[in-house]
Amino acid sequence: MENGAECYRRFLDGDRDALVEIIREYRDGMILFVDGVVNNFSLAEDIVQEVFIKLVVKKPKYSEKSSFKTWLYSICRNTSVDFLRKIKSRREYNTDELRNLADEADLEEHYINEERRITVRRAMKKLKSDYCQVLQLIYIEGFDHSGAADVMNKSNRQIENLVYRAKKALKSELEKEGIVYEKL
């Protein structure tokens, strides 16, 4: 895919296919990020859909002060926080079912990897919201500290501290589950 900012410019110029490209490229990551904020996968899907509706209806200006992805994730975070302010409650999310895989070895490997992801996601859900968000942005979405700082409206130093504390808290949660990760 070409640059997200370029696709957005094309969309603003009337090319509807450019929006489809943006949705295809960013939707899944945005849902996982928002899920870390609202703690409800189904609700995260709805919020991401609302973000894309905002892009279509309001056509917010992208100023290019940060990367397009950072700008888009900032909109996601702000929309999620606004929603949480309205409902003031948090819920659990439903996990997705495993895909059907033909090869038994692939199925076993996929199952083990999926169980690890579920265990880590479950442990992340027990962390403070900021901890969950910063881990999601940096380790799952691939943001650098500066990009995460922009999305979360924090300084780089605050992000470094959050990452340190979040990793420590995640390690503690995983150890409660009997899982030891040396990389944390």
CA distance 83 to 105: 42
Residue 116 binned pLDDT confidence (cut-offs 50, 70, 90):
confident
Tell whether 60 and 5 lie within a shared domain: yes
Q: Give the length of the chain.
A: 184
Tell whether 39 and 116 lie within a shared domain: no
pTM of the model: 0.59
Tell whether 39 and 12 lie within a shared domain: yes
Q: How far is CA 153 from the centre of its chain?
A: 16
Instruction: Please give the residue range of the domain that contains residue 139.
Output: 101-184
Contact between 130 and 62 (Cβ < 8 Å): no
Please say if the pLDDT value at position 74 is more than 60. yes
The tokens describing 114, both together, are 């999926």
CATH of the domain at 43: 1.10.1740.10
User: What element of type H or E holds 36?
Assistant: helix 16-38
Dump pLDDT digits (tens) for 10-55.
Answer: 999 999 899 999 999 999 999 999 988 888 888 899 999 999 999 9
Tell whether 88 and 105 lie within a shared domain: no
Give the end of a domain, one of 60, 93, 126: 93
Provide the domain count of the chain. 2
